[in-house]
Amino acid sequence: MAGLVMKALILCGGKGTRLRPLTHTTAKHLLPVANKPILFYILEHIRAADITHIGIVISTETGNQIKEAVGDGSKWGAQVSYITQLEPLGLAHAVKEAQGFLSDSRFLMLLGDNLIEGGVTEFVGQFNTYAPEALILLKEVLDPEAFGIAELNEKGKVSHVVEKPKEPKSNLALAGIYLFTPEIHKAIAQIKPSWRGELEITDAIQKLIEMGKQVSSHIPKGWWIDTGTKDDLLKANRVMLDNFLKRDITGSVDSQSQVMGRVEIRQGTEVAASTIQGPVSIAEDCRIKNSFVGPFTSIGVGALIEDTSVEHSIILANCRLRKIEHLADSVIGKNTEVLKREHNSRVINLVIGDDARIRL
């Protein structure tokens, strides 16, 4: 019978232009928060909702990175299939490209760079209980003209959706998490590209409404983060460290060092003559010497931090920071060296891509 097996579709085809230069070399969905790729959190949320058949829509530019990181999905007890979207022609176009994978199943669709408190289990449960043709997750936003926006009627049902309206009639944004029955394919077949040249999922949902189908909404109470910018990436890192990090020290810490609060120091890492003030996550095989690592910092595998103060930052794998008096609110790409040659007391704020060498 159609729809017995629910599937999940993760959209990872975007180019991540707002996170350049980091995304010139790394898929934005694989950027780490709290030392775990964003996409991995999404896979965990899907499995927590008891969904095992997962399709990931990828681009030609970053698809191989995602395939290498996720593999066949067995790490999560899932079966992962990959669907290549040759051009980024909209979310509804991605669904159209994935129709062979989706078949006649109901499905959960998520953007691969969005995180939500508590995952999607409650959302999926509501869909299974009330059985609408579509269930969309909504969040209040301050700038509704920048989002797809939903209007609700007096009964709380979705009466209208529109993409990036010039004069929004609501501040309820579509938060990048959707549940659909196969009826969405009929709706997508009836829409045309928008002025942006894309098949908009908002137009497809509006078509469902015009077809007389029930479109319901879910407004969660917790946080929702679109990690599409540097500030949002740092916010996600802060939230994940604050909410989920536990004190776990398997690396070595010498007698001249202090480790305070919830700090993770993974195997092979050495901390010498330094102060670590949590929440902080330090990955494997790092060297922290004569330094201060302050709250809401994640340090990737193989990093060297020497004679440096750093806080509220994401330091990716194999970075080398030396003699930096105070680095804050920064994201530093893989294999990057930041070295300060002269003393001054100014706080440094950086976004640096991979394989760079910066002298200050």
Sheet harboring 331-332: ordered strands across? 248-249, 263-265, 280-282, 297-299, 314-315, 331-332, 351-352
Please give the model's pTM, rounded to 2 decimal places: 0.87
Q: Which amino acid is at 53?
A: H
**Contact present, 56 and 62 (Cβ < 8 Å):** no
Please give the Cα distance from 9 to 82 (Å, whole number): 10
Residue 6 has pLDDT above 60, yes or no: yes
Cβ proximity of 217 and 126 under 8 Å: no
Q: What is the CATH architecture assignment of 245-359?
A: 3 Solenoid (2.160)
With the CA atoms of 268, 32, 53 and 124 taken in that order, what torsion angle do they form, in degrees rounded to the nearest 10?
120
Residue 289 has pLDDT above 70, yes or no: yes
pLDDT in tens, 68-127: 999 999 999 999 999 998 888 889 999 999 999 999 999 999 998 888 888 899 999 989
The architecture (CATH level 2) of 7-236 comes to Alpha-Beta Complex (3.90)
Looking at residue 271, its pLDDT comes to 96
Give the mean pLDDT of 60-71.
89
Amino acid at 39: L
Lowest mean pLDDT among 95-99, 197-201, 271-275, 280-284: 197-201
The residue ranges of every structural domain in the chain are: 7-236, 245-359
Is the pLDDT reported for residue 280 higher than 90? Answer: yes
Per residue in 149-159, pLDDT (tens digit) is 998 887 778 88
Give CA–CA dist 32/176, Å, rounded: 19
